[in-house]
Structure 1
Amino acid sequence: MATVYSMIFKLTSFLSAWLLLVTAAVAEPLPTELRDDPFKLAQAVSKRTFGRINTEQEQLLAQPELLKEIVREELIPYADYRFAAYKVIGQSELKKSSKEQRDRFVEAFKENLIVTYAQLFTEYNGQKVAFLPGALSDENYATVKTLIQEPGRPDISVDFKMRRNKKTGQWLAYDMVAENLSMLSQKEAELRGLIRQQGLDAVTDLLIEKNQTKIEFQSESEEAK
């Protein structure tokens, strides 16, 4: 039987992917005025991403790997994956590592997000997203609040943590908190201990291996397990 966390995770997975990254053409970037506002950015990214999934549904069912490209093109440009990756590594290990090691881990971490969220997008079946009034923690951090709504199920609260990039001044998402459960904290718990025990290079290799996972749609019988 699925745990409470896994149930929440599945119900919110279709929206969580925009946190955080080819088809024929590269997606046009969102206008600057949207990228300068975390609340408008969240709504614009969600609308464009799910619109594309709905439009390309037939191709996706035939070629699930295309979900990776949707994540890469529509979501990753608006995700602060380097900031999240550094949080996972932790300050003590960051100080020990070289730039080459950090860059290699960040790239593997980014690709791991793509694979993870592409697979989660296979759970999307038209749930609705209600955006609630947000809150600026300060001029550089914001929380975008949403409710995931599905007939016959209680609403699920999902908060997206955003930060303003100091170099560009534009907002990027770095974490999702579903019913008080942080995705970033989960990644930290999963990987930080391994980094301390095995080293950054070994964990990077592990992520690279995991990133070869193929995207598959599960049957209803498999989902019920």
Structure 2
Amino acid sequence: MKKLLVLFVLFTGFIQSSIATEVTPSVSPYQVIEVAGNNLFARIASNQEALEKFPDLMRDIVEEELMPSVDYQYAAFKILGKHLQKTTPEQRVKFINAMRSYLVRTYANALTQYHNQKVVFEPETKLKDNVKSASVDVKIVDAGKPDIKITFQMRKDSRSQEWKAYDMIVEGISLISTKQSEFNRRISDLGLDQVTIELASISK
């Protein structure tokens, strides 16, 4: 499970990149993934020396390259699941912020394991104009190891018309479903406020 989580957070980065000047809202989810993946890992590769001296720089890269395009609010609400309707606006804001910090920390830690793996992006497929969600496949090729197929679940924001990722599936396991199961049990046992405090604490 630990290895699987590493794969989740490592390759989530292919979807998210703050590339507003390069990618317009009309760009397809396939193009978003390919451009974002190329930009993200080029940035990491060009900063290898600095990252060895200052590992926390990876968090800055995540903040700048990933988080502006991560639909972390939607993901947080999906993770809350049945508990969402019982929350107050203040509780939701605190949980969303804690989840965002958790993702930054987790992505940064996992991205340190990137070592120039080859990435094969799914070819462009024309989507209908009214489509609001899409699944995009990426194949990770690592010499001497089995290929890894990852499916990204993406949704189109109704206001900005931008495609963003909210979930990914590796080896048949959904990140959202896994985290939803984990957090729902703890929320039922401890309450949302306590779980939010714990989440914020481990994200520092």
> What TM-score results when the alignment is normalised by the length of structure 1?
0.82
Q: Percent identity?
A: 34
Question: How far does residue 11 in structure 1 lie from its aligned partner after superposition?
Answer: 4.9
> What code does the residue aligned with 2:118 have?
K
Q: Which position in structure 1 is the counterpart of 2:73?
A: 82
Question: How far does residue 111 in structure 1 lie from its aligned partner after superposition?
Answer: 0.6
Structure 1: state its 5+ residue gaps: 22-26, 213-225
CA distance in 2 between partners of 1:11 and 1:109 (Å): 19
Q: Which residue, out of 7, 12, 17, partners 1:16?
A: 12
Question: How far does residue 35 in structure 1 lie from its aligned partner after superposition?
Answer: 5.9
CA distance in 1 between partners of 2:110 and 2:41 (Å): 13
Q: Which position in structure 1 is the counterpart of 2:194?
A: 202
Q: 1:75 to 1:211 in 2, by over 3 A?
A: same
Q: For residues 45-194 of structure 1, what are the structure 2 equivalents within 5 Å? A: 45-91=36-82, 93-133=83-123, 139-194=131-186
CA distance in 2 between partners of 1:197 and 1:12 (Å): 27
> Cα RMSD between the aligned structures?
2.2
> What code does the residue aligned with 2:143 have?
P
Q: 1:31 to 1:20 in 2, by over 3 A?
A: closer
> What code does the residue aligned with 2:178 have?
Q
> What code does the residue aligned with 1:112 have?
Y
Aligned residues: 202
Deviations 1:132-188 (A, max 9, x none): 236659701111101000111111101111001122111110011111111111111
Structure 2: state its 5+ residue gaps: none
Question: How far does residue 36 in structure 1 lie from its aligned partner after superposition?
Answer: 3.3
> What code does the residue aligned with 1:97 have?
T
Question: How far does residue 72 in structure 1 lie from its aligned partner after superposition?
Answer: 1.1
